[in-house]
Amino acid sequence: MRRLRKIKIVATLGPASSDYETIRKLFEAGADVFRLNMSHGSHDEIIERHAIIRQVETDLGRPIGILADLQGPKLRVGVFANGEEELTEGQEFRLDLDDAEGDATRVQLPHKEIFDALEPGATLLVNDGKIRLRVKEHGTDFAICEVVVGGTISNRKGVNVPDVELPLAALSEKDRKDLEFVSELGVDWLALSFVQRPSDVEEARKLCNGRAAVLSKIEKPSAVKNFDAILEASDGIMVARGDLGVELPVQNVPPIQKSLVRKCRAAAKPVIVATQMLESMIESPVPTRAEVSDVANAIYEGADAVMLSAESAAGDYPVEAVTTMNNVAVEVESDPTYRVIINASRGAEKTTVADGIVTAAREIAETADIEAICCYTQSGKTALLVSRERPAVPIIVLASLEKTARRMCLSWGTHCVLTGNPSRFKDAVIHAVRAARGEGFADAKDQIVVTAGVPFGQTGTTNILRVAPCEERLISATDPG
């Protein structure tokens, strides 16, 4: 199951992809990580999908990452007596806490926190920005707005408040229950919605208590503003372009995407580019040319992963969507321009011994006749540093911990192999050669680069690099590890 491309693919599971056969086909087509969307599906359904993924993992003998995406607090209007109303440009429309059914002049907005944070002139967006309201007057329980862009408003449509950092926690009561549930179930990544500040991430990390890595979704202007601190507090990032494109002018999203991807790479933390990547494939077996260009652009930027949402969860062609994304990635990464762009975008500050070791590993691999870089890692940190270098050769991650191998499935270029825990560097070389040969990356005449930290089993001790021949004597050597 060796991939022929470096970028990873995240596929969301749902009604169209909830059985063993489909999930296995998705993995075989190219999915590296499966996303469980906690906004949809019961806990029983999540348990069933989780079990199927782990069964596919066992049957195919390859680590598979699982990402649970928390819903986050959802801001919605109440209900209307007629089900919907038509708002016209220039009219006044009132939002308040009154739970009476709405009409053409008002509706409930059951979120006191919004009224407390609003200011005159603030913008409210309803139904993914299709309706735009401007606050004229407000109090602690109401806001009188002018309709700037009209349209049909109906029951429980979502509300975005782009101009204000809302005093809302990223974790609702539902999220807290879901967080505990999936952490105990055994997911590898936990995605946080509605992140606005680093304290949101720190709260989730405390509740998670090391059971899963924490990934922040950037979908609010305040998250973009506070990004550097959020990145430092997070294990990974998702550029969630859906809400980001609602709350910001759409033309702002591409440069923000590029900036965030570069910052994540410099920090050696995986970044996913998500939302509407192959949207037309929900109903069509082929994507639009613009969608293919969008996926290709994320690959050229050096993102760690690209993600499918409804395309694989609820679409008519889930396997075809993954196959298409895989094919685009293979083609882009074979383009000489791709390697030029990737090489030119290295710019992370390097200050540690581990930084020096992985930089040397990449330079040796690209200068000499090297087939792969094999790195031993306990926590995944060494592998993340190697991945940050974006080497031209494959990265074989040798991990003794299953959870580390699964988490690394999200990182660019990594091929994860579970292995024993060596007691000395000679044994590590034996493990590396066996993995390179056994996984089809090298044969007897080839060489690999091996990196590790001595003493073994301690995080952050990467301090050894060796060029090793893949000789038969190492394959048949006695290995006490």
Mean pLDDT within 334-339: 97
Q: Is 289 a catalytic residue?
A: no
User: Where in the chain are all domains bearing CATH 3.20.20.60?
Assistant: 8-72+170-337
Nearest to 103 by CA among 128, 132, 79, 75: 79
| 277 pLDDT more than 70 | yes
407-456 tens-digit pLDDT: 999 999 999 999 988 878 888 899 999 999 999 999 999 999 999 887 77
| Confidence tier at 478 by pLDDT (50, 70, 90) | low
198-207, 236-245, 266-275, 470-479, range with the lowest pLDDT: 470-479
Q: In the prediction, which pLDDT does 346 show?
A: 86
Q: In the prediction, which pLDDT does 69 show?
A: 98
Distances (CA, A) of 458 to 353, 376, 404, 455, 481: 15, 11, 14, 7, 16
User: Where in the chain are all domains bearing CATH 2.40.33.10?
Assistant: 84-160
Please give the distance of CA 339 from its chain centroid, rounded to a whole number: 23
| Confidence tier at 374 by pLDDT (50, 70, 90) | very high
Q: In the prediction, which pLDDT does 474 show?
A: 66
Q: Is 35 a catalytic residue?
A: yes
Q: Is 381 a catalytic residue?
A: no
| 128 pLDDT more than 90 | no
> What percent of the chain is predicted at pLDDT more than 70?
98
Strand positions, DSSP E, 40-185:
65-69, 84-87, 92-96, 106-108, 123-126, 131-138, 142-149, 151-154, 159-160
| 480 pLDDT more than 70 | no
Q: In the prediction, which pLDDT does 290 show?
A: 97
- Identify the helix (H) or strand (E) that includes residue 12: strand 8-13
Choice between 90 and 474, residue whose per-residue pLDDT is larger: 90
Q: In the prediction, which pLDDT does 1 show?
A: 75
> What percent of the chain is predicted at pLDDT more than 90?
86
| Confidence tier at 390 by pLDDT (50, 70, 90) | very high
Q: Is 275 a catalytic residue?
A: yes
Residue 130's contacts (CB-CB under 8 Å, 6 or more residues apart) are: 149, 151
8-72+170-337 has which CATH code?
Answer: 3.20.20.60
146-189 tens-digit pLDDT: 999 999 999 999 999 998 888 888 899 999 999 999 999 999 99
How much is the mean pLDDT over the chain? 94
> Which is catalytic among the residues 24, 74, 76, 211?
76
Report the DSSP pairing between strands 373-377 and 447-453: parallel
| 142 pLDDT more than 90 | yes
Mean pLDDT within 121-135: 94
Q: In the prediction, which pLDDT does 452 show?
A: 87
| 260 pLDDT more than 80 | yes
215-251 tens-digit pLDDT: 999 999 999 999 999 999 999 999 999 889 998 999 9
> Which is catalytic among the residues 8, 35, 106, 406?
35
Q: What topology does CATH give the domain 353-475? A: Pyruvate Kinase; Chain: A, domain 1 (3.40.1380)
Cβ burial, residue 356 (10 Å; 0-12/13-18/19+)? middle
Distances (CA, A) of 428 to 166, 220, 232, 388, 423: 51, 45, 32, 23, 8
Distances (CA, A) of 402 to 27, 62, 406, 421: 18, 11, 6, 12
Q: In the prediction, which pLDDT does 171 show?
A: 93
* Sign of torsion over alpha carbons 5, 294, 276, 314: negative
Which residues in 324-351 are b (16+ Cβ under 10 Å) and which e? bbbbbbbebbeeeebeeebeebeebeee
Q: Which residues pair with 143 in a beta bridge?
A: 95, 138
Nearest to 436 by CA among 462, 397, 407, 466: 397
User: Where in the chain are all domains bearing CATH 3.40.1380.20?
Assistant: 353-475
Q: Which residues pair with 192 in a beta bridge?
A: 216
Distances (CA, A) of 97 to 108, 192, 427: 5, 27, 67
Cβ burial, residue 71 (10 Å; 0-12/13-18/19+)? middle
| 460 pLDDT more than 70 | no
End-to-end Cα separation, the chain, in angstroms: 25
Q: In the prediction, which pLDDT does 476 show?
A: 65
Q: Reduced to 3 states, what is the DSSP secondary structure of residue 274? A: strand
- Homologous superfamily, domain 84-160: PK beta-barrel domain-like (2.40.33.10)
Cβ burial, residue 40 (10 Å; 0-12/13-18/19+)? middle
Distances (CA, A) of 41 to 14, 313, 362, 378: 8, 11, 43, 34
Backbone conformation region of residue 432, classed left if phi is above 0, alpha if psi is from -120 to 50, else beta: alpha
Q: What is the dihedral of CA 462, 466, 467, 472, to 10 degrees?
A: -110
Q: In the prediction, which pLDDT does 473 show?
A: 72
| 465 pLDDT more than 90 | yes
Q: In the prediction, which pLDDT does 170 show?
A: 84
> Which is catalytic among the residues 5, 8, 269, 275?
275
Choice between 247 and 293, residue whose per-residue pLDDT is larger: 293
> Which is catalytic among the residues 217, 265, 434, 437?
217
Interatomic CA distance for residues 258 and 248, integer angstroms = 15
Backbone conformation region of residue 29, classed left if phi is above 0, alpha if psi is from -120 to 50, else beta: alpha
Nearest to 299 by CA among 268, 273, 266: 273
